[in-house]
Structure 1
Amino acid sequence: MTESLPAVGRTAVGVAALRALESRRPDRLFDDPYATAFYQAGRSALPATRDGLGPVFASQVAIRTRFYDDYLLGAGCPQVVLLAAGLDARAFRLPWPPGTRLFELDLPEVLAFKDRVLAGQGAQPSCERVAVGADLRDDWAAALRAAGFDARVPAAWLAEGLLVYLSREDADRMLTAVTELSAPGSRVSFEHGTTDGLLARARATSGGEHVTRLWKGGLGRRAPEWLREHGWEPATVTRSALAERYGRQDEQTADGFVTAVL
């Protein structure tokens, strides 16, 4: 079942494991009832040395998941687009307003694996979910339009855990396409910063190279400037500030998240 998952798709299995751990905490920041099923179905695809990476990424994954959940539900957009949707089940686990249309873009192999697991759980989406198999380094915009996306209607875009896997050129190309597809009032959010702290800790952990060798850096700290130059109004928040807001202990870091409105 997992043999066809690409390397980046396999990292989504590890993230699902961390969401499952967070969901079992009495003080959990979110509840993902499908995360355990994703992990159990995909764990054989993970490297044998994976266990040491959990503590490195656990806090970051918990904080970003909660932050993005709140961002998407508060955006007030009738269209939602999850770029590199991975194995998060937001279409199924969040209370979407009536009429919400949610597009999940990811590699066809990842979406096929995801759909098989969700079908086995009898999961039903709480919105209109449209899965779009596409490589974000190719012409994914055409595939999104063909699936029914309306560029005249405001959309909330999310690129969770994505830009770090893209080169600066690919990140620029992807966000340019997002801008061209966005009606006034649209929003976008993704991680902001260099992730230097995470990178150093992951590299120092046994098995960490399986993840860090895939990282290319994206826009790094230039994201707010890039967004302003392309007509967006950005705002940033650090992971440290969010940890304090959520009552969690986390490393002191300037890395965090950017949101922007067009």
Structure 2
Amino acid sequence: MTALGVAAGRAIESRRSDGLVDDPYAEAFVVAATPRVRLPSGPNFEAAWTMQSTYIGVRSRFFDLFCAAAAAAGITQVVILAAGLDTRALRLDWPAGSVVYEVDQAGVFEFKNGVLAGCRAGRSAHRVVVPADLREDWPTALLAAGFDPARPSAWLAEGLLPYLPAQAEADLFDRVHQLSVPGSRMAVEHLGPSRAGTAERSQPLSEVLGVDIADLMYLDEREDPGDRLRRYGWDVARVQASEFAQANGRFLNDDGGGLPTRTVLIEATLGSS
């Protein structure tokens, strides 16, 4: 349901004449899903989605630009952690020879691949699905799927960290670092320094999706992802989601349950030392 909520946000954003993302597949996921996540059909329902879809557009734009920068730097293998209903392998302009590995649970791919088959989706990059639980030994599955740890890679952790226990998050960053060589890059969405109030702020979105979002999250405190990556030797840059939104002609506030004003978007590059 959370993946469908994100897809619905991308679908709404894609309808805008000034949309920050153009995802031709997002609405197909929403239409095919059971139970359904309805797209806006009236002013009251649309109001509940406004901040959610705006934030999803902003976030998607950040990660899209990250992918474009990684590709321009010569990185041709990309790993999307908890890929959900992400369609970047299909909708972005990838250089020849690019491979996008999508890591998520098998049930997600069963639904996703069925919808994409019905869309007759093309391929911009070679898309490789890796059924695995990120709380378990996913690196073995990734390596078996063809990932080459001797080549620079780009990693995306979008809409993921709040749904992992603290130890699983720590293990995730450890494993990404172990699988990365100098020149590798990582983009991370981080809810911010404090998770207090998350349950209250997520209530509007929970009502729209019919799922208690806060109940799916692990709200224990853990090390800041940027600080963790710096300890490993990565060069880190960070921007508040609200600032990135403003730079792209959008405004975020705390309405809609997305916690956007506290969210930090992080980019990191592994140096040679």
TM superposition score normalised by structure 2: 0.85
Q: Please say if 1:244 is aligned against 2:252.
A: no
Q: Which amino acid aligns with 2:242?
A: S
**Number of residue equivalences:** 250
1:171–1:219 CA contact under 8 A, matched in 2 = no
2:188–2:265 CA contact under 8 A, matched in 1 = yes
Q: How does 1:148-227 map to 2 (within 5 A)?
A: 148-192=146-190, 193=192, 194=194, 199-203=199-203, 207=207, 210-217=212-219, 222-227=224-229
- Does the C-alpha gap of structure 1 residues 57 and 196 become closer, same or farther in structure 2, counting only changes over 3 Å? farther
- Does the C-alpha gap of structure 1 residues 150 and 54 become closer, same or farther in structure 2, counting only changes over 3 Å? same
**Corresponding residue SS for 1:40:** helix
CA distance in 1, matches of 2:119, 2:204: 37
Unaligned 5+ runs, structure 2: 39-44, 255-260
- Does the C-alpha gap of structure 1 residues 41 and 196 become closer, same or farther in structure 2, counting only changes over 3 Å? farther
2:57 to 59, 62, 80: 62
1:26 to 11, 17, 26: 17
> C-alpha offsets along residues 62-110 of structure 1, whole Å, 9 cap, x if unaligned?
1100100000111131110000001011111000111111100100000
1:80–1:155 CA contact under 8 A, matched in 2 = yes
CA distance in 2, matches of 1:198, 1:28: 27
Which residue does the alignment assign to 1:109? 107
Which residue does the alignment assign to 1:83? 81
1:159–1:190 CA contact under 8 A, matched in 2 = yes
- Does the C-alpha gap of structure 1 residues 226 and 197 become closer, same or farther in structure 2, counting only changes over 3 Å? same
CA distance in 2, matches of 1:78, 1:218: 35
**Corresponding residue SS for 1:73:** helix
TM superposition score normalised by structure 1: 0.89
Structure 1 residue 197, shift from structure 2 partner: 6.7
Q: Please say if 1:16 is aligned against 2:7.
A: yes
Which residue does the alignment assign to 1:259? 267
CA distance in 2, matches of 1:206, 1:83: 23
Which residue does the alignment assign to 1:5? none
Which residue does the alignment assign to 1:92? 90
Q: Which amino acid aligns with 1:215?
A: M
- Does the C-alpha gap of structure 1 residues 205 and 90 become closer, same or farther in structure 2, counting only changes over 3 Å? closer
- Does the C-alpha gap of structure 1 residues 21 and 247 become closer, same or farther in structure 2, counting only changes over 3 Å? same
**Corresponding residue SS for 1:82:** strand
> C-alpha offsets along residues 34-60 of structure 1, whole Å, 9 cap, x if unaligned?
00000111151559xxx6853452222
Q: CA RMSD in A?
A: 2.1
Which residue does the alignment assign to 1:6? none
CA distance in 2, matches of 1:246, 1:183: 32
CA distance in 2, matches of 1:219, 1:235: 22
Which residue does the alignment assign to 2:121? 123
CA distance in 2, matches of 1:241, 1:232: 23
